[in-house]
A and B are shown apart, each in its own frame.
Chain A
């Protein structure tokens, strides 16, 4: 080989092995690049092959632009036709330069290698060029921050699985005890290791990968399977991962026990026992998808594992430790290969299909009997015997001479049989769910995957083995709508929890996390509701049908700035309402002090003044500690026209509808077809969708929601525009409860006594435009129009009835 290099010192530089030894490694990147390029070329098939392990920094990729520069330089420099002998005096110069062997031409040997004449000129030019190149490259690095930060690969070690350290297990090393069937989280799991953690996340540590061999150097198992590597990668990329073994609360060995058939049981157990934090398996989690082995196929991993948790595919009720183990799916590698787009609801060609091969003859007889009885609607498939291509047979199924594509054929069926094989857990379950086919699980005592959190009743039909002959009639009794829901649910389970190893790993950790931090656990709905349902549904925060006792009364909150006279009148009026239990004045003026105590009206209930830090509209909806009742009456400081009967009746109506906004004048939103947007309507219409909060009753919880949970920037937007806080409140309540407002009494507007008719019209118009803008803005922030339109209002039972006024409870109910 004609590779060589000029140059030598600085003496500390590394030299390279074998035939590349002529090159001196400068230890700087450019040097490495050059080297890379060389090794690339040398490893081409027309060269003698270089084993990767022989190359240092085998994984070094470098930057493309640098490579290009080097390549340019090389091709420029190496063009030099003058041959150069190794013993050239450049050595004497003792200048360290890498010399790239003529990548392009060096195959034929030294003839094309550049050679220095006694003249130093070329040599110096070369030197300077290199230095210049270095400068340019460095400069580019400086102004290329992205390229330096971008890839996380810089931090990740790149190695080959074959290079992992080997650990020899002496034949007499300790073996863990067999799994303890009585283990539960509170007996075998040390929750104290997880500690209190503000994020409520368990920390998971993964042991480094080792290769275990016995005394004779025979491996204990395959080092790691593709799936287990994916699984550990997923955990390592997740929020659960920690590399600090002392902070971890859950330990995942890198010993791969996914398939019991690929390992030696006793030696694997010994390997587990020598893990540094094993401690009888406490807080250790093992993943196993194919447990047991011939002939009796245990339903849990046979490897003795002491107290370790087992995430297993194929548990039966006999081996599953409820609340301790996690039942997981058997991953179907087909999921990654085949892309089955979701199929909408509607009739499918077959009612019931069985696509498993290698079924026990007894089961197959039963299924074929069904086919005979029900004809076309049942399809029983088997493997294809007459296919020429053996490799594809896993993707084909046959019925007599008809060939079907698997798993595509599953999409043609409403129900798909998932029968127990030698093992309870079957990978076909995953294929069936992917196809949106409702699995009919016939495997007595099988613990369905993730059944601790997933509601399988919504996605599958479980039929006892002895009822197999009745399966058709059982399925026929299910209403069509339920079938369609099950199909949607099946597909959703696959997408969320089955489709990749990562999904399986994260669901498993989430389940364990939920047990350790139950108060932060994911709810049933979050686990089970498909996204479409989550979007469409509303979970009313005040769902309990409760009528608050009248004795509790309400707290009136008056927002005021400086209209003291009007404020005092409001206070006096409101204090006449029998159910008022407290009055809270929110003093929103920072430049002026509220009047002295002695000046305030004397009323029969406690009166409190709260001073605010800033003049903001949202102060009226703040959840003040002073609010002790559930009912809040928000009232402006100029609303003096409401009668005592009117207010008391409003409170009584609120008690019957404590989860709604109960107000007086109603307003409506309308779709403006010309402008293609929402419009605010204050005309006298037959419908209402909002009430003004100038005077409105509502539950104090909505104050908390308004202040802390208002979506988007609405709260700040309202404060900045000093308008539409009432519309925002209407949106918020309707969105969270899914219910309409209640308008009480005939009142249509709050007539302000000081207002004059002048400018009324133009003011009105600007007002309407602004209010319409608010509705459009809020609808876009909420992403929907939550307001509900109704055609009713609430009046007293005998309102305007032909009945003696003096016998009516609320005779003075007010006017328009």
Chain B
């Protein structure tokens, strides 16, 4: 009985303890003890296998290296670069192109395109020396079709260029020829071999071309977000504010303040939806993918970048027939060059691959344009290049002044007159090299291999500069390495009376050119001047020497799309009258170039690239009423 009672009390105690245990810990223990179940939200992933370590590798040791090799390359039906193009002919000076002469009468456009290619650096007159043979298939209206050319050789090393969809039936097999045409189909296009061209309107300008229509970096507030291409060339716009497209529902067309714009003009919208030839597909596409939603999500930074890139691409590669053709040839040349082709950055950022020659360098930091993207800086030294034309006095004072600059690395004298070279030159600490020129004005902009710095100070023997001026101008150039920094300026203007461009060297409130007889610029412009300008223009400069300044300014402005920079020049104030009327200026008898020089160059460029500037960059304390002791460039202000 007693034991029973004792047992009972023990039982009670035990049960109580159990109860406590269950209450306290039951829940948490239960959680642990229950077989794991996936928590909502945390997906049950790929299992961690217990024996994962024991799994075998996909390739057994030895299998990879022991691969028995077969020397037969895999083959397929169509061409690729390695199989169908023979690069052995292209060694040496890059891509040389022979253009088949047209059979029979040709249109004016055809003629001008031929002339444009013949003027380019790619052209050769000998089919034997060419590495690419070009067959133009240009004329859309005439329906004229070319017959198989003589050196066809199954199309090897041939490029068939079709600017407009060919109405010609294929008269011969294209075989191994590359095809450059607009809107190629996926089935026939051979990536890395054929070239896709933009679809050009028939009235596309031959050269130059209109600049992009973008006038603002960022979109105007309140304009439509998206414009949809409609049939017959109209556009329908969809607004940002409209909730026409909820995330999950279909787009209610016409519910927003959409409107249809008719006619040739492009819509005023941030994005344009282009759908090829099937506008009805576009609206379906819009519904399904909720394009609007995606576009609205896009950050302002991205929209800004895309807008600018469209303009850059247009200006660099699309705006004229000439650019399209040159781009095609440049693409092919890059394939031939392999490792010395343009890096991607050069293709995709201003000024573009046509103006950044890969023959100059393949390292972006060698060019003046990419220092920001590369995180690099222009070099801290310059080379002075002094041109000595007639009468041929050694420019002793000038050499002293330039050699006094702390930034000067070397002095080059380009001896370009009939007199014999002087035997002795002034003693300077600066290395001095004398180059015997070819008595041609265009020599001044030849890329001499002896120029070892990025910056060139181009001088005329009769220029007169002080060390202070040189120092300050160079420091300014370092901030703008892609522009020309000069001391003396001139301007172009539209001359209503003559219906053409005019030129003036008078001092005015603005300028668009700096004289290259005293200017800093990047040595890359020598390469560009010599290798990318059409031969005709360089000949023009040689025949009319005063044109060479204009030509160089055109070139730099076309590349940078910026005006040059003017820095203060002390001598200028002494001159009683503007430069043109003579005096002790750097060019005692400056002949103003004939106005037709500007007009000829502008015609060759296809547009007027020069831009005007209304400012001059001065030292920060320039002519301020403070102690001269505070000023770094004191002698700039000396009377």
Bound pair: A and B? yes
CB distance from A516 to the nearest CB of B (A): 10
Residues of B near A265 (CB, < 8 A) are none
Interface membership of A76, Cβ < 8 A? no
CB distance from B484 to the nearest CB of A (A): 14
User: Are A455 and B64 neighbours in the complex by a CB distance under 8 Å?
Assistant: no
Interface centre among B44, B374, B509 (most CB of A within 10 A): B509
Interface membership of A729, Cβ < 8 A? no
- When chains A and B are docked, how far (Å) is the Cα of A800 from the Cα of B619? 13
Interface size on B, residues (CB 8 A): 136
Report the nearest B residue to A524, measured CB to CB.
Answer: B344
Of the candidate stretches A273-281, A415-423, A772-780, the one touching chain B is: A415-423
- When chains A and B are docked, how far (Å) is the Cα of A121 from the Cα of B344? 88
User: Are B215 and A548 neighbours in the complex by a CB distance under 8 Å?
Assistant: yes
- When chains A and B are docked, how far (Å) is the Cα of A39 from the Cα of B283? 68
Known: A358-B66, A544-B350. A198 touches B216 (CB 8 A): no
User: Are B47 and A158 neighbours in the complex by a CB distance under 8 Å?
Assistant: yes
Interface membership of A16, Cβ < 8 A? no
Residues of B near A160 (CB, < 8 A) are 49-51
CB distance from A567 to the nearest CB of B (A): 26
Interface membership of B5, Cβ < 8 A? no
| 1/0 contact string of B66-88 vs chain A (CB within 8 Å) | 11111101111110101100010
Residues of A near B372 (CB, < 8 A) are 537-540, 737-739
Residues of A near B47 (CB, < 8 A) are 156-159, 209
Interface membership of B92, Cβ < 8 A? no
| 1/0 contact string of A238-281 vs chain B (CB within 8 Å) | 00011110000000000010110110000000000000000000
| 1/0 contact string of A288-300 vs chain B (CB within 8 Å) | 0110001111110
User: Are A316 and B65 neighbours in the complex by a CB distance under 8 Å?
Assistant: no
Residues of B near A807 (CB, < 8 A) are 509
User: Are A139 and B631 neighbours in the complex by a CB distance under 8 Å?
Assistant: no
Of the candidate stretches B19-27, B153-161, B162-170, B455-463, the one touching chain A is: B19-27
Partner of B51, one of A161, A262, A474, A543: A161
Residues of B near A153 (CB, < 8 A) are 48
- When chains A and B are docked, how far (Å) is the Cα of A457 from the Cα of B218? 34
User: Are A138 and B29 neighbours in the complex by a CB distance under 8 Å?
Assistant: yes
Interface membership of B289, Cβ < 8 A? yes
- When chains A and B are docked, how far (Å) is the Cα of A52 from the Cα of B622? 89
CB distance from A522 to the nearest CB of B (A): 12
Partner of A796, one of B20, B68, B186, B615: B615
Report the nearest B residue to A230, measured CB to CB.
Answer: B52
- When chains A and B are docked, how far (Å) is the Cα of A268 from the Cα of B339? 42
Interface membership of B277, Cβ < 8 A? no
- When chains A and B are docked, how far (Å) is the Cα of A421 from the Cα of B66? 9
Interface membership of B290, Cβ < 8 A? yes
Residues of B near A799 (CB, < 8 A) are 616, 618, 623
Residues of B near A375 (CB, < 8 A) are none
Inter-chain contact total with CB atoms closer than 8 Å: 422
Partner of B295, one of A148, A519, A653, A656: A519
Report the nearest B residue to A52, measured CB to CB.
Answer: B50
CB distance from A356 to the nearest CB of B (A): 7
Interface membership of A802, Cβ < 8 A? yes
User: Are A225 and B509 neighbours in the complex by a CB distance under 8 Å?
Assistant: no
Interface membership of A389, Cβ < 8 A? no
| 1/0 contact string of B226-263 vs chain A (CB within 8 Å) | 00000000000000000000010000000000000000
Interface membership of A801, Cβ < 8 A? yes
- When chains A and B are docked, how far (Å) is the Cα of A458 from the Cα of B67? 29
Residues of B near A684 (CB, < 8 A) are 621, 624, 626, 630
Interface membership of A328, Cβ < 8 A? no
User: Are A445 and B363 neighbours in the complex by a CB distance under 8 Å?
Assistant: no
CB distance from B373 to the nearest CB of A (A): 5
Partner of A543, one of B77, B80, B350, B562: B350
Interface membership of B107, Cβ < 8 A? no
User: Are A236 and B71 neighbours in the complex by a CB distance under 8 Å?
Assistant: no
Known: A229-B55, A445-B82. A131 touches B18 (CB 8 A): yes
User: Are A791 and B362 neighbours in the complex by a CB distance under 8 Å?
Assistant: no
User: Are B614 and A196 neighbours in the complex by a CB distance under 8 Å?
Assistant: no
User: Are A196 and B191 neighbours in the complex by a CB distance under 8 Å?
Assistant: no
Report the nearest B residue to A788, measured CB to CB.
Answer: B479
Partner of A746, one of B42, B63, B69, B624: B624
CB distance from A544 to the nearest CB of B (A): 4
Segment 289-311 of B: residues with Cβ below 8 Å from A: 289-290, 293-295, 297-298, 300-302, 304-305, 308, 311
| 1/0 contact string of B25-61 vs chain A (CB within 8 Å) | 1001101110010110011111111111001111101
CB distance from B600 to the nearest CB of A (A): 25
Partner of B615, one of A148, A748, A795: A795
Of the candidate stretches A172-180, A581-589, A698-706, the one touching chain B is: A698-706
Known: A159-B49, A794-B617. A424 touches B74 (CB 8 A): yes
User: Are A552 and B216 neighbours in the complex by a CB distance under 8 Å?
Assistant: yes
Known: A135-B20, A656-B615. A262 touches B58 (CB 8 A): yes
- When chains A and B are docked, how far (Å) is the Cα of A162 from the Cα of B479? 69
Interface membership of B603, Cβ < 8 A? no
- When chains A and B are docked, how far (Å) is the Cα of A547 from the Cα of B42? 54
Report the nearest B residue to A701, measured CB to CB.
Answer: B218
Report the nearest B residue to A652, measured CB to CB.
Answer: B614
Interface membership of B511, Cβ < 8 A? yes
CB distance from A646 to the nearest CB of B (A): 13
Residues of B near A546 (CB, < 8 A) are 214-217, 308, 311, 561
- When chains A and B are docked, how far (Å) is the Cα of A296 from the Cα of B70? 8
| 1/0 contact string of B332-345 vs chain A (CB within 8 Å) | 00000011110110
User: Are A316 and B76 neighbours in the complex by a CB distance under 8 Å?
Assistant: yes
Residues of B near A603 (CB, < 8 A) are none
Of the candidate stretches A210-218, A478-486, A604-612, the one touching chain B is: A478-486
Residues of A near B21 (CB, < 8 A) are 131, 134-135, 138
- When chains A and B are docked, how far (Å) is the Cα of A795 from the Cα of B615? 6
- When chains A and B are docked, how far (Å) is the Cα of A462 from the Cα of B82? 10
Residues of B near A289 (CB, < 8 A) are 58-59
Segment 577-626 of B: residues with Cβ below 8 Å from A: 611, 613-626
- When chains A and B are docked, how far (Å) is the Cα of A616 from the Cα of B617? 36
User: Are B59 and A358 neighbours in the complex by a CB distance under 8 Å?
Assistant: no
User: Are A793 and B51 neighbours in the complex by a CB distance under 8 Å?
Assistant: no
CB distance from A254 to the nearest CB of B (A): 8
User: Are B58 and A290 neighbours in the complex by a CB distance under 8 Å?
Assistant: yes
Residues of B near A445 (CB, < 8 A) are 73-74, 76, 80, 82-83
Residues of A near B623 (CB, < 8 A) are 746, 799-800
Residues of B near A120 (CB, < 8 A) are 7, 10
User: Are A226 and B59 neighbours in the complex by a CB distance under 8 Å?
Assistant: no
Report the nearest A residue to B38, measured CB to CB.
Answer: A155
Interface centre among A29, A658, A791 (most CB of B within 10 A): A791
User: Are A226 and B58 neighbours in the complex by a CB distance under 8 Å?
Assistant: yes
User: Are B59 and A290 neighbours in the complex by a CB distance under 8 Å?
Assistant: yes
Report the nearest B residue to A287, measured CB to CB.
Answer: B58
User: Are A477 and B340 neighbours in the complex by a CB distance under 8 Å?
Assistant: yes
Segment 449-487 of B: residues with Cβ below 8 Å from A: 472, 475-476, 479
User: Are A358 and B67 neighbours in the complex by a CB distance under 8 Å?
Assistant: yes
B residues sitting closer than 8 Å to A (CB atoms) are: 7, 10, 13-14, 17-18, 20-21, 24-25, 28-29, 31-33, 36, 38-39, 42-52, 55-59, 61-71, 73-78, 80, 82-83, 87, 186-187, 191-192, 214-218, 220-221, 247, 288-290, 293-295, 297-298, 300-302, 304-305, 308, 311-312, 338-341, 343-344, 348-350, 361-363, 372-375, 472, 475-476, 479, 489, 507-511, 560-563, 566-567, 572-573, 611, 613-626, 630-633
Contacts beyond the supplied A479-B363, A649-B614: 16 A-B pairs with Cβ under 8 Å: A28-B29, A131-B14, A142-B28, A236-B43, A259-B59, A316-B74, A357-B66, A424-B74, A426-B64, A479-B362, A536-B374, A537-B373, A549-B215, A685-B620, A709-B301, A799-B618
Q: Which 6 A-B pairs have the closest CB atoms?
A: A138-B25, A536-B375, A318-B76, A360-B69, A236-B46, A236-B45
Pick 14 A–B contacts, CB within 8 A, sort by A.
A27-B33, A155-B42, A156-B47, A160-B50, A182-B187, A317-B76, A356-B65, A357-B65, A358-B67, A465-B82, A485-B363, A519-B298, A649-B615, A794-B615
